[in-house]
Amino acid sequence: PPYTAISYCWGDSRPTKQVICTNGNVLRFSATIASLIDALLRRDDACTLWIDALCINQNDPIEKGHQVALMGKVYSRASSVLVWLGDGDDSSQRL
């Protein structure tokens, strides 16, 4: 299915936020990803997203290495790529 790949500034990657999914899994992610998700939720359209921090198993170094090597293909095959530069201020245009 079509998806939007997200490119973002990594920053501090320590998990500081968490979400409990409908299947009971817990996703832990950084404040950068949390602010990105908050901004995306304010949008009026639904879409399938690919965010490396959530789609790649960060706890498995072998899988992570393999998946990082494939990221060029992930981005080139995406129907669109959204670049997240971080939270804006009052003079910034929002999503």
16: CB partners within 8 A, 6+ apart: 29, 30, 31, 34
| Per-residue model confidence as pLDDT tens digits over 78-88 | 999 999 887 77
For residues 42-66, average pLDDT: 87
Dist CA 43 CA 52 (whole Å): 21
pTM: 0.75
- pLDDT beyond 90 at 5: yes
9: CB partners within 8 A, 6+ apart: 32, 84, 85, 86
pLDDT in the model for residue 84: 87
pLDDT in the model for residue 94: 58
Residue type, 35: S
**Residue 49 in contact with residue 40, Cβ under 8 Å?**
yes
Mean pLDDT of the chain: 84
Closest C-alpha to 6, from 73, 80, 95, 66: 80
Dist CA 82 CA 75 (whole Å): 10
